[in-house]
Amino acid sequence: MLRFFFGRLAVLIPTFIGVSIVAFAFIRLLPGDPVQLMSGERVMSPERYEKISHELGYDRPIVIQYLDYLGNVLTGDFGRSLTTKEPVLTIFAKLFPATLELSLCAIIFAVVLGIPAGIIAAVRRGTVIDQTVMGTALIGYSMPIFWWGLLLIILFSGVLQWTPVSGRISFSYFFQPVTGFMLIDSLISGQKGAFKSAVSHLILPTIVLGTIPLAVIARQTRSAMLEVLGEDYVRTARAKGLPPLRVIGVHALRNAMIPVVTTIGLQVGVMLAGAILTESIFSWPGIGKWMVDSVFKRDYPVIQGGLLIIASIIMVVNLIVDLLYGLINPRIRH
């Protein structure tokens, strides 16, 4: 197992270096001189231009700039935002709980609905139920989620007026964040209705972000279940006359869950990509929206640092999924 772990880690390091080069190179390639952009219509004197370029280190050889950057990154310094001048990591830390809260809710939503739906479809294979579930899943899988979000807003916020349009909580509630998770913070605050408000703000974004993982999980569960249900030991269990629920619940499900767990792990990347769109639609103050805004503002260090942090998170999560998979399924290790 240790060898397996180190083998994976050895792959991770060159990938990380590659990721850092990509993140760094992108920013160097972005059109538009960042120093020039800072001044807009106002003409900057050549001395001032030089001074700012120098302060930002843009006047040094590119290889040196990269090595410096890598060195800084390894000590946790991802640079500072050009607009707010705050360290990228600090901003990330402030915004990440919002994305995490939304992503966790979305994954719970997807798992809680997706796994039972997949099981039912597999057990009732070929019936109308199966077809309905799988048809719905395919629609979900094909959904342009930015449009899905707008549709839900039209229906639930516009026509029915059940849910708010955007944000994490109504502006009439105010409290200091303790955990960064609005659901928990609103409970801690003890303010009447705050929790309810936080929940109502979460509903639509959760559905939107959870839609594609839900579809993927349902489909994956169904096919994994079908495979397992066809295996000898399940047939034997059935033949022995064990109650069907027990067969499905205990024998089949446990084995079918291995690929499903992997799928769930792999949804992290999907989630972060989805967060870009979901957060933009619902003005959700998380890292997805932050990245989009920074691209438009050409906030180079943020784009750079954000790409690197996000990619690192995905790599680490994938590593964990790999290891878990290796743990559950020893065959993989060799």
Residue list 137-196, contact with other proteins (CB under 8 A): 138-139, 141-144, 146-148, 150-151, 153-154, 157-158, 164-168, 170-172, 174-178, 180, 188-192
What backbone phi and psi angles, to 5 degrees, belong to 87? Answer: -60, 140
Size of the site for other proteins (CB under 8 A): 96
Rounded least distance, CB 52 to other proteins, Å: 7
Q: Name the β-bridge partners of 87.
A: 80
75 lies in the site for other proteins, by CB under 8 A: no
Name residues contacting other proteins, limited to 196-225 (CB under 8 A): 223
The only residue of 6, 7, 10, 33 in contact with other proteins, by rule CB under 8 A: 33
Rounded least distance, CB 96 to other proteins, Å: 11
42 lies in the site for other proteins, by CB under 8 A: yes
The only residue of 24, 69, 78, 82 in contact with other proteins, by rule CB under 8 A: 82
**In angstroms, rounded to a whole number, what is the distance separating the alpha carbons of residues 235 and 121?**
18
**In angstroms, rounded to a whole number, what is the distance separating the alpha carbons of residues 191 and 246?**
45
- Give me the 10-29 binding string for other proteins, x by CB under 8 A, dash otherwise: -x--xx--xx--x---x--x
Output 63 or 171, the one with its CB closest to other proteins. Answer: 171
Output 112 or 139, the one with its CB closest to other proteins. Answer: 139
228 lies in the site for other proteins, by CB under 8 A: no
37 lies in the site for other proteins, by CB under 8 A: yes
C-beta pairs of 187-195 under 8 Å, 24+ apart in sequence:
194/169
Rounded least distance, CB 293 to other proteins, Å: 8
Cα–Cα nearest to 105, from 51, 182, 38: 182
**In angstroms, rounded to a whole number, what is the distance separating the alpha carbons of residues 288 and 276?**
4
Name residues contacting other proteins, limited to 281-300 (CB under 8 A): 283, 285, 289-293, 295-296, 298
Phi-psi region of 176 (alpha: psi -120 to 50; beta: other; left: phi over 0): beta
**In angstroms, rounded to a whole number, what is the distance separating the alpha carbons of residues 278 and 143?**
13
Rounded least distance, CB 332 to other proteins, Å: 15
Output 117 or 314, the one with its CB closest to other proteins. Answer: 314
- Is the sign of the CA dihedral 273, 279, 280, 282 positive or negative? positive
Name residues contacting other proteins, limited to 99-138 (CB under 8 A): 135, 138
Output 29 or 239, the one with its CB closest to other proteins. Answer: 29
Cα–Cα nearest to 210, from 119, 278, 259: 278
The only residue of 104, 184, 199, 226 in contact with other proteins, by rule CB under 8 A: 226
**In angstroms, rounded to a whole number, what is the distance separating the alpha carbons of residues 236 and 234?**
5
Alpha helices in the chain (DSSP H): 2-29, 34-39, 46-56, 62-74, 88-123, 128-141, 145-152, 182-189, 194-229, 232-239, 244-246, 253-281, 287-297, 300-328
Output 242 or 295, the one with its CB closest to other proteins. Answer: 295
The contacts of residue 136 (CB under 8 Å, 6+ apart) are: 215
The only residue of 53, 269, 325, 333 in contact with other proteins, by rule CB under 8 A: 269
91 lies in the site for other proteins, by CB under 8 A: yes
Output 25 or 327, the one with its CB closest to other proteins. Answer: 25
The CA-based diameter of the chain, rounded to the nearest angstrom, is: 87
Rounded least distance, CB 223 to other proteins, Å: 8
Output 41 or 240, the one with its CB closest to other proteins. Answer: 41
36 lies in the site for other proteins, by CB under 8 A: yes
